[in-house]
Amino acid sequence: MIISLAGLNRPQRQAAETVEGPVLILAGAGSGKTRTITYRMAHMVANLKINPKQILAVTFTNKAAKEMRERVSALLGSSKGRGLTISTFHALCVRILKREIQNLGYHQKFNIYDTGDQLAIIREALNKYTSEKDGGFERKTIQSKISFLKNRGISPTEYPTTPYYDPESPYDQAIEHCYHYYQEKMRFYNAIDFDDILFLTIELFRKHPHLAKHYSEKYNYIMIDEYQDTNGLQFELVTHLTCLHKNLCVVGDDDQAIYGFRGADVSNILNFEQNYPNCKVIKLEENYRSTNSILQLANKVIAQNTKRKDKTLFSQKNTDDRPVVWACGSTEHEAESVVEDILQFWSTDGGHLSEVAILYRSKTQVAAFEEQLRLSQIPYKIIGGQKLYEKKEVKDIMAYLSFLNNPKDELALRRIINIPHRGIGNATLEKYLALKTKDNTDLYQAFKNNPSVDPKRAGDIQTFTKLVEEMQHEFNSRSLPEALGQLIEKINYFSFIDQEYKDAPKQAEKKKVDVNMFMQLAERFVQYHKQNATLNYFVEKIILQDSQDDEEHSDLDDDLKKNEVTLMTLHSAKGLEFDRVYFVGAEEEILPHKKSMAEGTDLNEELRLCYVGITRAREKLVLTYCKERKLYGKNVRRNKSRFLHNLEEGLFDEKDRTVFGHLSPEEAESYKKKFFQGLIEDL
Catalytic center residues = 33-34, 225-226, 256, 616
Q: Closest Cα partner for 205 from 232, 230, 229, 239? A: 239
Which of 232-240, 266-274, 360-368, 660-668 is the region at the interface with DNA (rule: CB under 7 A)?
Answer: 360-368
The answer to whether residues 288 and 35 touch, using CB atoms and an 8 Å cutoff, is no
95 binds DNA (CB under 7 A): no
Shortest CB 454 distance to DNA, Å: 14
In the bound state with DNA, the residue whose beta carbon lies nearer, of 91 and 487, is 91
- Site for DNA contains 572 (CB under 7 A): yes
N-to-C CA span, the chain: 41
Among 593, 655, 662, 672, binds DNA (CB under 7 A): 593
How far apart are CB 545 and DNA at their closest, in Å?
Answer: 4
Site stretch for DNA (CB under 7 A), options 150-158, 329-337, 358-366, 397-405: 358-366
Q: Can you tell me the distance from the alpha carbon of 271 to that of 249, in angstroms, rounded to the nearest whole number?
A: 14
Which residues are CB-contacts of 38 (< 8 A; sequence separation ≥ 6)?
A: 68, 71, 72, 75
Residue 571 CB, nearest distance to DNA (Å)?
4
Residue pair 137/174 in contact (Cβ under 8 Å)? The answer is yes
Contact between 466 and DNA by CB under 7 A: the answer reads no
CB 278: neighbour CB atoms within 10 A? 8
The single residue among 13, 33, 109, 361 that binds DNA, judged by CB under 7 A, is 361
Tell the smallest beta-carbon distance from residue 130 to DNA (Å).
11
**Which part of the chain contacts DNA (CB under 7 A), choosing from 88-96, 235-243, 279-287, 308-316?**
88-96
Q: Which is nearer to DNA, 139 or 208 (CB)?
A: 139
Stretch that binds DNA, among 46-54, 174-182, 356-364, 579-587 (CB under 7 A): 356-364
550 phi, psi to nearest 5 deg: -105, -175
Cβ-based neighbour number of residue 51 at 10 Å? 12
- Nearest residue (CB) to DNA, 44 versus 251: 251
Of the candidates 363, 466, 473, 645, which one interacts with DNA according to CB under 7 A? 363
CA distances from 250 to 221, 223, 236, 332, 457 (A): 11, 6, 14, 44, 60
Assess 422 for contact with DNA (CB under 7 A): no
Binding residues among 370-409 for DNA as defined by CB under 7 A = 384
In the complex, minimum distance from the CB of residue 492 to DNA, in angstroms, rounded to a whole number = 15
Longest Cα–Cα distance in the chain: 84
Closer to DNA by CB, 435 or 544: give it. Answer: 544
Query: Contact region for DNA (CB under 7 A) — 87-95, 153-161, 234-242, 290-298?
Result: 87-95
262 counts as binding DNA under rule CB under 7 A: yes
Closer to DNA at the Cβ: 63 or 510? 63
Does position 421 interact with DNA (CB under 7 A)? The reply is yes
Contact 566, 357 (CB under 8 A): yes
Contact 231, 264 (CB under 8 A): yes
Query: What is the DSSP secondary-structure string of 451-495?
Result: TTSSTTTHHHHHHHHHHHHHHHHHHHHS-HHHHHHHHHHHTTHHH
Q: Which of 83, 425, 459, 505 binds DNA (CB under 7 A)?
A: 425
Q: Which amino acid makes up residue 202?
A: I
Q: Exposed, middle or buried, 552 (CB in 10 Å: 0-12/13-18/19+)?
A: middle
Interaction of residue 273 with DNA, rule CB under 7 A:
no
Q: Least CB distance from residue 422 to DNA, whole Å?
A: 10
Q: Does 256 bind DNA (CB under 7 A)?
A: no
| 600 lines the binding site for DNA (CB under 7 A) | no
For DNA, which is the closer residue by CB, 117 or 253?
A: 117
Q: How far is CA 124 from the centre of its chain?
A: 28
CB of 60 or CB of 227, closer to DNA: 60
Asked if residue 114 binds DNA (CB under 7 A), the reply is yes
Give the nearest distance from C-beta 253 to DNA in angstroms. 17
Nearest distance in Å: CB 637, DNA: 17
| Residue in 595, 602, 654, 673 binding DNA, rule: CB under 7 A | 595
CB within 8 A of 143, min separation 6: which ones?
115, 118, 119, 122
Cα gap 354→351, rounded to integer Å: 9
Report DSSP state, residue 286: B
CB of 567 to DNA, least distance (A): 11
For residues 17 and 460, which CB has a smaller minimum distance to DNA in the complex? Answer: 460
Considering only 305, 418, 463, 534, the residue that binds DNA (CB under 7 A) is 418
The DSSP letter of residue 307 is S
C-alpha span between 507 and 430 (Å, rounded): 32
Q: Which of residues 531-550 bind DNA (CB under 7 A)?
A: 544-546
Q: Which stretch binds DNA (CB under 7 A): 96-104, 214-222, 329-337, 355-363?
A: 355-363
Torsion on CA atoms 452, 455, 461, 466, rounded to nearest 10: 70
Q: Which is nearer to DNA, 16 or 258 (CB)?
A: 258
For residues 3 and 609, which CB has a smaller minimum distance to DNA in the complex?
Answer: 609
Residues in region 52-81 near DNA by CB under 7 A: 60-63
**Contact positions with DNA (CB under 7 A) in 184-213:** 194
Whether omega for the bond prior to residue 420 falls within 30 degrees of 0, making it cis, is: yes
Q: Which stretch binds DNA (CB under 7 A): 85-93, 166-174, 213-221, 396-404?
A: 85-93
Q: How far is the CB of 322 from DNA (least distance, A)?
A: 28
Distance CA(665)–CA(671), nearest Å, equals 10
Q: Which of 71, 108, 68, 117 is nearest to 88 (CA)?
A: 68
Interface segment toward DNA; rule CB under 7 A; list 303-311, 449-457, 489-497, 568-576: 568-576
Angle subtended at Cα 575 by Cα 41 and Cα 82, rounded to the nearest 5 degrees = 25
Angle (CA) 631-635-638 rounded to 5° is 85
Q: 9 phi and psi, to 5 degrees? A: -80, 175
Amino acid making up residue 272:
F
State the minimum distance, in angstroms, from the CB of residue 478 to DNA. Answer: 29
Nearest residue to 109 (alpha-carbon basis) of 118, 121, 101, 119? 101
Cβ closest to DNA, residue 286 vs residue 454: 454
- Selected range binding DNA among 28-36, 149-157, 239-247, 590-598, rule: CB under 7 A: 590-598
Nearer to DNA, 99 or 595 (CB): 595
Phi, psi (rounded to 5 degrees) for 600: 80, -10
Cα separation, 354 vs 360, whole angstroms? 17
Q: How many of the chain's residues bind DNA (CB under 7 A)? A: 38
Minimal distance, residue 465 CB to DNA, in Å: 19
- Footprint of DNA on this chain (CB under 7 A)? 60-63, 88, 90-91, 114-115, 133-134, 139, 194, 261-262, 361-364, 384, 418, 421, 425-426, 503, 544-546, 568-569, 571-572, 593-596, 632-633
